[in-house]
């Protein structure tokens, strides 16, 4: 065992390089294997928006009616490469490039934490956690989102966080939120972490970061106001997701029972923007008229956030084999977090560890408001993988195995 740990420590850089090479080579082959097949509705919508942007039809799914269903970064990202002639398989491969970069950013985070010897372990865990690879093979935002989130963490932990870093944090925060709107809780959480304890100069830097982020996001919000004649800051898609997780028919056995509601049929007759307002209104009615049931449902969703599988509308998204793989790969990550928190009274969490743990736990609280889905959790599972790299380093040092950073 000692020799294994020493090997992983001394060969950490090589392991990270091999992991990146694996994601690039295996990801390229997997992308070729999938070809031009688009399996899921969200993928097709992202791709269609990219196609219409290139064709000059504007930000639209059907090419005629404008949409704000998704924030703009990922469709614009796809459109750039579609414009350059990239086929669908190459668009998929871009996610594997991002996944390989995630391994290097995690290594950089651990190096700053003087836990470089754990980078190899984190890289191995990234490969072992197959759902990361699987999701990278889709035209979903989660892989790009993960990379941006890791870069934000790397920026936040710099030794002297100044106003230049604050501007960069604002830009990256806008990029994160405009990639997927569930990232809205990350910037204030990072700024709060930077402020604690009593880092008063961070107040001004936090304000600068907020101003930069809001200015960037306001460009998209202004577009939406001009097109739809109403204020839509980020997306018109949040209301229906909120309603899926907060309605009288919601249950853990199947989130999509709401499609049988009369409300759903009624909403289907409305334009996109009015649908969003309709769902928001119905969600508020559920919260105010059934407060006890809503609170109980929230707690159940909070627990379900840590589930190894979801009951989804499309059954082919989660078959038995994938359930088994998720069970044996996810829960060890969660157990490591639990054990580290138990040991925190004896070995306090480092500053970086506290940020990684805070992001993961707050992500659970936030997503339980909506709909806990593994796909939405994946970027935060990467926080666990980075955290385990730090744990490995601490464990090696405590056992005096001669691990070097």
Write out the two tokens for 67: 């949409």
**Domain residue ranges in the chain:** 2-398
Write out the two tokens for 306: 């840590």
CA-CA distance, 307 to 131, in Å (whole number)?
A: 14
User: Residue 66 pairs with which residues in a beta bridge?
Assistant: 60
What pLDDT is attached to residue 100?
Answer: 98
| C-alpha distances out from residue 324 to 122, 327, 328, Å | 21, 5, 6
Do 116 and 93 form a contact (C-beta atoms < 8 A)?
Answer: no
The torsion angles phi and psi of 180, rounded to 5 degrees, stand at -150, 125
**Backbone CA torsion sign across 368, 372, 375, 380:** positive
What pLDDT is attached to residue 258?
Answer: 56
Do 390 and 110 form a contact (C-beta atoms < 8 A)?
Answer: yes
Is the overall model pTM greater than 0.85, yes or no?
yes
Do 119 and 16 form a contact (C-beta atoms < 8 A)?
Answer: yes
CA-CA distance, 19 to 14, in Å (whole number)?
A: 9
The angle subtended at Cα 404 by Cα 402 and Cα 405, nearest 5°, is 155
The torsion angles phi and psi of 265, rounded to 5 degrees, stand at -65, -40
Please, what are the averages of pLDDT over each run of 10 residues along the chain (405 residues)? 69 94 98 93 95 96 94 97 96 98 97 90 96 96 98 96 97 98 96 91 96 97 94 88 83 61 70 86 92 93 90 58 88 95 92 96 95 91 96 76 51
SS3 of the chain: the string is: CHHHHHHHHHCHHHHHHHHHHHHHHHHHHHHHHHCCCCCCHHHHHHHHHHHHHHHCCCCECCCCCECCCCCCHHHHHHHHHHHCCCCHHHHHHHHHHHHHHHHHHHHHHHHHCCCHHHHHHHHHHHHHCHHHHHHHCCCCCHHHHHHHHHHHHHHHCCCCCCHHHHHHHHHHHHHHHHHCHHHHHHHHHHHHHHHCCCCCHHHHHHHHHHHHHHHHHHHHHHHHHHHHCCCCCCCCCHHHHHHHCCCCCCCCCCHHHHHHCHHHHHHCCCCHHHHHHHHHHHHHHHHHHCHHHHHHHHHHHHHHCCCCCCCCCCHHHCCHHHHHHHHHHHHHHHHHHHHHHHHCCCCCCCHHHHHHHHHHHHHHHHHCCCCCCHHHHHHHHHHHHHHHHHHHHHHHHHCCCCCCC
What pLDDT is attached to residue 311?
Answer: 64
Q: Give me the torsion for CA of 147, 150, 152, 153, rounded to 10°.
A: 180
Do 141 and 94 form a contact (C-beta atoms < 8 A)?
Answer: no
Using alpha carbons, select from 204, 212, 206 the residue that is nearest to residue 175.
212
Using alpha carbons, select from 394, 404, 390 the residue that is nearest to residue 10.
404
* Rg, the chain, Cα only: 22
């Amino acid at each position: 065992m000692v020799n294994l740990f020493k090997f992983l420590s001394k060969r950490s850089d090589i392991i990270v390089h091999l992991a990146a090479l694996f994601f690039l080579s295996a990801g390229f082959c997997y992308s070729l294997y999938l070809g031009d097949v688009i399996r899921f509705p969200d993928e097709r919508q992202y791709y269609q928006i990219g196609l219409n942007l290139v064709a000059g039809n504007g930000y639209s799914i059907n090419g005629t009616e404008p949409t704000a269903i998704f924030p703009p970064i990922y469709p614009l990202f796809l459109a750039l490469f579609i414009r350059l002639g990239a086929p669908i398989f190459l668009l998929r491969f871009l996610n594997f490039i991002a996944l390989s970069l995630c391994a290097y950013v995690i290594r950089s985070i651990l190096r700053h934490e003087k836990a470089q010897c754990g980078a190899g372990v984190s890289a191995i865990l990234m490969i072992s956690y197959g759902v990361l690879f699987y999701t990278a093979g889709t035209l979903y935002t989660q892989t790009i989102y993960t990379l941006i989130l890791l870069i934000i963490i790397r920026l936040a932990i710099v030794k002297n966080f100044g106003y230049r870093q604050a501007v960069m944090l604002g830009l990256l925060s806008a990029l994160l939120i405009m990639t997927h709107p569930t990232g809205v809780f990350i910037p204030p959480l990072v700024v709060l972490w930077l402020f604690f304890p009593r880092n008063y100069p961070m107040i001004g830097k936090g304000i600068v970061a907020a101003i930069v982020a809001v200015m960037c996001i306001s460009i998209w919000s202004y577009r939406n106001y001009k097109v739809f004649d109403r204020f839509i800051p980020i997306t018109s898609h949040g209301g229906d997701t909120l309603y899926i997780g907060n309605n009288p028919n919601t249950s853990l056995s199947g989130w999509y029972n709401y499609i049988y509601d009369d409300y759903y049929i009624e909403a289907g007759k409305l334009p996109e923007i009015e649908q969003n307002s309709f769902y928001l209104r119905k969600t508020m009615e559920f919260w105010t008229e059934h407060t006890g049931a809503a609170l109980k449902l929230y707690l159940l969703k909070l627990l379900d956030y840590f589930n190894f599988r979801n009951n989804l509308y499309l059954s082919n998204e989660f078959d038995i084999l994938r359930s088994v793989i998720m069970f044996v790969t996810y829960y060890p990550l969660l157990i490591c977090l639990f054990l580290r928190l138990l040991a925190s009274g004896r070995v306090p969490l480092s500053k970086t560890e506290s940020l990684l743990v805070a992001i993961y736990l707050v992500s659970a609280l936030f997503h339980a408001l909506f709909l806990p889905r593994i796909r939405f959790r994946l970027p935060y599972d990467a926080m666990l993988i980075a955290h385990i790299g730090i744990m490995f380093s601490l464990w090696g040092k405590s056992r005096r195995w001669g691990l070097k950073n």
